[in-house]
Amino acid sequence: MGLGQNSALRVEWIAAVSLAAGAAAVGYLAYKKCLSKDKCCKAMVNPHIQKDNPKVVHAFDMEDLGDKAVYCRCWRSKKFPLCDGAHTKHNEETGDNVGPLIIKRKEA
């Protein structure tokens, strides 16, 4: 094997390694973007309600509800925890299908 052949083989080897490294990098980035379930990459559901609390919890006595209560599940209501219809705009903007939680007293 001559010096010219050895040099050509080295160039081919460098090209192959460079191509493989580039493909691996693109594959890794695609995986991180599309398939990774990292907590840091998920969008928050609650954009602004009681952000100073570690957990938002509301409890109501059934007797206090009256005949019907409508609660927000999209976290965009200005009257949270009650629904003000903000999910309609949210659904139009995002393609989501979230709606309110409706609690009604059972008809006797």
Tens digits of per-residue pLDDT, 23-73?
A: 888 888 887 777 655 545 456 778 888 888 888 888 888 777 788 899 999
Tens digits of per-residue pLDDT, 70-88?
A: 999 999 999 999 999 999 9
- As given in the structure block, the two tokens for residue 93 are 């903007």
55 catalytic, yes or no?
yes
6: Cα within 13 Å, side-chain hemisphere: 3
**Amino acid of residue 95:** G
> What is the pTM (predicted TM-score) of this model?
0.53
From the list 33, 39, 55, 68, the catalytic residue is 55
